[in-house]
């Protein structure tokens, strides 16, 4: 019996080109642009004034975009809301900034003196990124696994990767997955202060390109098992064939061609493809000089002969850079390209840059590729590439081998009086850069965990961390903007506003290149991150992951495949298994404090008895784990 395949049977889209599949697709293939003068806030006196806003949509809230796109995806898949209610539907949503406008309104109350600064954290809690997947799951009564992934501009693809796993391993019959972000004055100011924004238009891979154009939007894809979709007569746009992860482990904002090439190669390996099988690449293609040069070099490394390179287009000239929604919108474009036999163009493209020697599809083109890749790269160097296959029937892939996973380190740190000072004292030989408390806690715990596991960085080790968001950094940045204007904000502060700042810094400082995954911090001890790492390692069959949570301290495990741990003679603390991930709409409340998961591992190690461990998130998620004493080799 073959393995299950994840088929895309529904698309929901809210974009600067319009809402719904047909408005979105016709705008792309006709070469229209959604970029215009910004109207949602006053940009008088700013360095630039153009963006790709969603028009004629109310209310202007992240959750509203998400609910609308999900409703479209269900209608497009010819499914009722009742069909996806229950424990067999999963929800995975990617975002960079979550409910940013609502959070800014709360901050305005502090600035105006109507809310004490000490009350900011409590007032902001319902608006944290974890509320997005939980809110949609609650809205649909979807009771299966749910996560908000905060891997910045790779978040949409990372959500799709999580959904593919849930369908393939039988945890879900349906999965709603995608990405959503709105842009705000703070986001616009951040990109402008980094001098990354073009004054008029985004021209990916072009000679003389000047930068990105900020955008916004949402795309939700409905995934289900391919055979089940065929039995119910569903239209299949494409199947999700595989994904690749990686981390540059180099710089907070500068991309690295080698890291990008590794992620593309990892995707091809996961999907069982050769480079020559790929007939189209939807590029990250932001239009910045550095990003496009690095991405073109990575494509050249995977396809060394220019004649063998597949056509490459970027749709960010039309949609702007929609951040956490970008790769979800681009995944939808890949599905439509495969299903309809048309490659969307790179609008505004001007040939002539020798560093971007690609076939950039300047106009829409008839083509019938069997496989397409969608590239997504984030601040901090976190990369995720997805592979889609044309929907024609094909032999089901062989079932994936599932490796056993063990714990080789378990540590907890904090709370500390001065976590930044402690991190610098613990790592005196490293340039840690600009720190805040979450980043400092993560670095201190990572150092201890890697030392305890006797692991170094490299391509076989990665990290997945949960964080409730960089609220203190966001507050400082927004306060400076609101009281002093765009010139008052510090450019170096902007990357620390992103919820993936802690995991990115850990990977950069310790050279972890396997993956850099950030989850919204619904579980302070990191049980959701540990479950994600467990599934990733079982799928890959090798490697190690730092996994845990950061909040008023940090709790980190090192998880490894059992074979790798035994082959290097590591001390195994416990065997690790995920029993269940689910959602209880009425179950939101207090979660286990930071450190509980590490204590549970120690209890098993010291007591020599198995332990079933359950954690409930603040927003209703449930993770059940089983820890067992290690068996002798």
Known catalytic residue at 321: yes
Helix segments in 247-373, DSSP class H: 257-271, 289-302, 316-319, 326-340
Which pair of tokens denotes residue 324?
């956490």
The string of pLDDT tens digits covering residues 441-461 is 999 999 999 999 999 989 999
Which pair of tokens denotes residue 175?
């999965």
The string of pLDDT tens digits covering residues 181-203 is 998 999 999 999 999 999 999 99
8 A C-beta contact, residue 198 and residue 287: yes
Q: Identify the H or E element spanning 107.
A: helix 100-111
- C-alpha span between 501 and 511 (Å, rounded): 15
The string of pLDDT tens digits covering residues 483-514 is 999 999 999 899 999 999 999 999 999 999 99
- C-alpha span between 145 and 91 (Å, rounded): 6
Which pair of tokens denotes residue 301?
């490394």
Q: Provide the pLDDT for residue 395.
A: 60
Q: Provide the pLDDT for residue 394.
A: 60
- C-alpha span between 201 and 362 (Å, rounded): 15
Using the predicted structure, report yes or no on whether residue 5 has a pLDDT greater than 50: yes
Which pair of tokens denotes residue 286?
């932001």
* Cα 193 off chain centre by: 24
Nearest one of 553, 512, 156 to 325, comparing CA atoms:
156
Which residues contact residue 562 at a Cβ distance below 8 angstroms, ignoring those fewer than 6 apart?
Answer: 403, 404, 405, 406, 572, 575
Nearest one of 425, 404, 497 to 185, comparing CA atoms:
497
- C-alpha span between 622 and 168 (Å, rounded): 21
Task: Tell me how long the chain is.
Answer: 633
Catalytic choice (247, 321, 384, 555): 321
Looking at residues 145-155, what average pLDDT do you find? 96
Known catalytic residue at 402: no
Peptide bond preceding 79: is omega within 30 degrees of 0, i.e. cis?
Answer: no
Using the predicted structure, report yes or no on whether residue 2 has a pLDDT greater than 60: no
Which pair of tokens denotes residue 147?
């996560």
What's the pLDDT band for 468 if we cut at 50, 70, 90? confident
Sketch out the chain's domains with CATH numbers. Answer: 6-389 (3.40.47.10), 405-628 (3.40.47.10)
- C-alpha span between 433 and 420 (Å, rounded): 11
Q: Provide the pLDDT for residue 470.
A: 80
8 A C-beta contact, residue 513 and residue 495: no
Q: Mean pLDDT score of the chain, rounded to an integer?
A: 94
Cα dist from 133 to 180, 295, 309, 359, 369, whole Å: 11, 30, 37, 37, 33
Q: Provide the pLDDT for residue 1.
A: 38
> At which residue do the structure tokens 């990369």 appear?
383
> At which residue do the structure tokens 């990572």 appear?
446
Q: Provide the pLDDT for residue 274.
A: 97
Tell me the DSSP string of 575-587. Answer: EEEEEEEEE-TT-
The string of pLDDT tens digits covering residues 34-46 is 999 999 999 988 9
Burial class (CB within 10 angstroms; exposed 0-12, middle 13-18, buried 19+) of 307: exposed
Q: Is residue 22 helix, strand or coil?
A: helix
* Dihedral angle over CA of 332, 337, 339, 341, nearest 10: 170
Using the predicted structure, report yes or no on whether residue 585 has a pLDDT greater than 90: no
Q: Provide the pLDDT for residue 118.
A: 94
Count of CB atoms situated within 10 Å of the CB of 370: 16
Q: Provide the pLDDT for residue 591.
A: 65
Nearest one of 1, 295, 357, 356 to 153, comparing CA atoms:
295
What's the pLDDT band for 221 if we cut at 50, 70, 90? very high
What's the pLDDT band for 523 if we cut at 50, 70, 90? confident
Known catalytic residue at 153: yes
Looking at residues 100-125, what average pLDDT do you find? 95
Query: Both ends of the chain: CA-CA distance in Å?
Result: 31
- Percentage with pLDDT > 90 across the chain: 90
Looking at residues 254-282, what average pLDDT do you find? 96
The string of pLDDT tens digits covering residues 306-365 is 999 999 999 999 999 999 999 999 999 999 999 999 999 999 999 999 999 999 999 999
State the angle between helix axes of 62-76 and 100-111 in degrees (0 to 180), rounded to the nearest 10: 170
Helix segments in 221-256, DSSP class H: 226-231
Catalytic choice (100, 267, 284, 555): 284
């Amino acid at each position: 019996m073959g393995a299950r395949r994840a088929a895309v049977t529904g698309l929901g889209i809210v974009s600067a080109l319009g809402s719904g599949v047909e408005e979105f697709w016709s705008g792309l293939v006709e070469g229209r642009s959604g970029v215009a003068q910004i109207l949602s806030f006053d940009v008088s006196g700013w360095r630039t004034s153009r963006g790709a806003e969603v028009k004629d949509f109310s209310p202007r809230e992240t959750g509203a975009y998400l609910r609308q796109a999900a409703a479209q995806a269900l209608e497009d898949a010819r499914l009722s809301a009742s069909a996806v209610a229950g424990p067999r539907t999963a929800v995975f949503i990617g975002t960079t900034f979550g409910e940013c406008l609502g959070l800014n309104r709360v901050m305005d109350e502090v600035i105006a003196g109507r809310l004490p600064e000490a009350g900011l954290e409590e007032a902001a809690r319902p608006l944290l990124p974890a509320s997005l997947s939980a809110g949609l799951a609650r809205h649909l009564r979807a009771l299966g696994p749910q996560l908000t992934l905060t891997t910045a501009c790779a978040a949409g693809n990372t959500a799709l990767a999580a959904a593919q796993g849930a369908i393939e391993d039988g945890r879900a019959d349906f999965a709603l997955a995608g990405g959503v972000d709105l842009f705000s004055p703070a986001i616009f100011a951040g990109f402008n202060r980094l001098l990354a924004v073009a004054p008029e238009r985004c021209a990916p891979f072009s000679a003389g390109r000047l930068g990105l154009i900020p955008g916004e939007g949402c795309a939700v894809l409905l995934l289900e098992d391919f055979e089940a979709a065929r039995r119910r007569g569903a239209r299949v746009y494409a199947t999700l064939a595989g994904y690749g992860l990686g981390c540059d482990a180099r710089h907070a904002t500068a991309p690295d061609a080698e890291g990008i090439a590794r992620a593309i190669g990892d995707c091809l390996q996961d999907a069982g493809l050769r480079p020559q099988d790929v007939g189209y690449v939807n590029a990250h293609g932001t239009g910045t000089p550095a990003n496009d040069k690095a991405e073109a070099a990575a494509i050249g490394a995977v396809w060394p002969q220019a004649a063998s390179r597949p056509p490459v287009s970027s749709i960010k000239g039309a949609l702007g850079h929609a951040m956490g929604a970008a790769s979800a919108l681009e995944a939808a474009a890949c599905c439509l390209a495969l299903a309809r036999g048309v490659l969307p163009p790179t609008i505004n493209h001007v040939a002539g840059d020798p560093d971007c020697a690609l076939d950039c599809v300047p106009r829409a083109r008839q083509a019938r590729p069997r496989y397409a890749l969608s590239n997504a790269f984030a601040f901090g160097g976190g990369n995720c590439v997805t592979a889609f296959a044309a929907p024609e029937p094909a032999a089901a892939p062989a079932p994936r081998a599932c490796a056993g996973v063990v714990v080789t380190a378990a540590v907890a740190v904090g709370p500390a009086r001065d976590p930044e000072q402690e991190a610098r004292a613990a790592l005196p030989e490293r340039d840690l850069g600009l720190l805040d408390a979450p980043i400092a806690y993560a670095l201190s715990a990572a150092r201890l965990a890697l030392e305890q596991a006797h692991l170094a960085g490299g391509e076989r080790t990665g990290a997945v961390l949960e964080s409730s968001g960089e609220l203190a950094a966001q507050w400082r940045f927004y306060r400076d903007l609101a009281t002093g204007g765009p010139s008052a904000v510090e450019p170096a502060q902007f990357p620390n506003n992103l919820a993936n700042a802690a995991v990115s810094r850990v990977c950069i400082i310790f050279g972890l290149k396997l993956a850099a995954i950030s989850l919204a911090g619904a579980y302070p001890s990191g049980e959701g991150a540990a479950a994600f790492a467990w599934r990733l390692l079982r799928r890959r069959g090798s490697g190690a992951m730092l996994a845990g949570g950061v909040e008023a301290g940090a709790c980190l495990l090192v998880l490894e495949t059992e074979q790798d741990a035994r082959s290097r003679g590591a001390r195994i603390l416990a065997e690790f298994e995920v029993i269940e991930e689910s959602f209880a709409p009425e179950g939101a409340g207090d979660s286990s404090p930071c450190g509980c998961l590490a204590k549970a591992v120690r209890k098993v190690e010291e007591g020599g008895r198995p332990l079933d461990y359950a954690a409930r998130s603040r927003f209703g998620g449930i993770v059940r784990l089983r820890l067992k004493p290690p068996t002798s080799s």
